[in-house]
Amino acid sequence: MGFYHSEDWQGLLKIKHPSILFILICICTGANLALFKEGLATSQGEPVSASVLIVPTLISPQPKVTVIVTPQRCSQTKGRIEIGNFYTHLLTQVLQYRVYLPPCYDQDWPRRYPVLYLIHGQSYNDDQWDRLGADETADDLISSGEVPPFIIVMPQDRIWSQPDQDPFGQVMVDELIPWIDDHYRTLTDRQNRAIGGLSRGGGWALHLGLSRWDLFNAIGLHSAAIFESDSAQIPRWLDKISPESMPHIYIDIGERDRPQILSAIRSFEEYLTRLGIPHLWHLYTGYHNEAYWKSHLEDYLRWYASNWKSSK
């Protein structure tokens, strides 16, 4: 550090305004200055002699600091279920529903998810798949990385009649599915939407999956009770679907199921075989009851998720 005497700054001291002098000194030194003055003053705007001691302060440039925020990886292993009511003028009663949201749904924004619609059996309601353990089974498969995360929608059907007398199907495709897509982060293309059901719910899955094949890429028929009014419709629906657009079809039933249901589903499976339509067929040991469906629940969910790829 050097000391600069007043004679070295005679030119600067001729500047009449002290503040300008100070600014120029700062500029010349390129540093912050400590200015010690003895008798530095002005009289009538004229400079007087002064002894000036200038001590330059050397400041090292500060390194540029870049702050990198690393998002914490969500460690949740459990999803959650939301319960709600859907109102429509097509139904005389409110449509109750349950929505399973996978682990990290709330944290992993803006990720979007495939959707599985599961319909319950006759005399049951929207809690049937929940009671069977659909959410816990999905949690285990998703947390272990065996399947991608997905959403499950479980709506309630209150009317036990044929589709032409029960507006549930129309509400599903025209109102509920668009509403779900608007209110949850779903993948809205048919490749990432599946429908399945057990017993009467399986009948609905077959009815909607074939008549509105443009909405569903996979159909799960678990001990499905095929609607009588659909028997004549099924060949026409299948005839309208091109081979490359045909939904994936999964059929299973217990060998001790109710004779009428077992006979109808066997006939449907044989018809698919004659037409050369790919499908999976499982005839297991078991009855038409919840113990049977619960024992195969993990297989069902694995199959639904087998062709899904979730997106961020």
The domains of the chain are located at 6-57, 80-305
| Whether residue 232 has pLDDT greater than 50 | yes
| Mean pLDDT over the full length of the chain | 84
Rounded-to-integer distance, Cα 19 and Cα 14, Å: 13
Reported residue count of the chain is 312
Q: From the CB of residue 307, how many other CB atoms can be counted at a distance below 10 Å?
A: 13
Copy the structure tokens of residue 241: 């679907």
User: Lowest-pLDDT range, 89-93, 118-122, 228-232, 248-252?
Assistant: 89-93
Q: Is the pLDDT of residue 7 over 60?
A: no
Residue 308 — pLDDT band, cuts 50, 70, 90? confident
* pLDDT single digits (tens) 13-22: 444 444 444 4
Q: Residue 159: which pLDDT band, with cuts at 50, 70 and 90?
A: confident
DSSP run (H or E) holding 56: strand 51-57
Give the separation between CA 290 and CA 275, rounded to whole angstroms: 32
Decide: 146 and 302 in contact? Cβ < 8 Å: yes
Burial class (CB in 10 A: 0-12, 13-18, 19+), 289: middle
| Domain 80-305 coded CATH 2.60.40.10 | no
| pTM across the whole model | 0.77
Both tokens assigned to 201: 């719910």
Please report the pLDDT score of residue 281 as a whole number. Answer: 98
Inform me whether the pLDDT recorded for 57 exceeds 50: no
What is the per-residue pLDDT for 154?
98
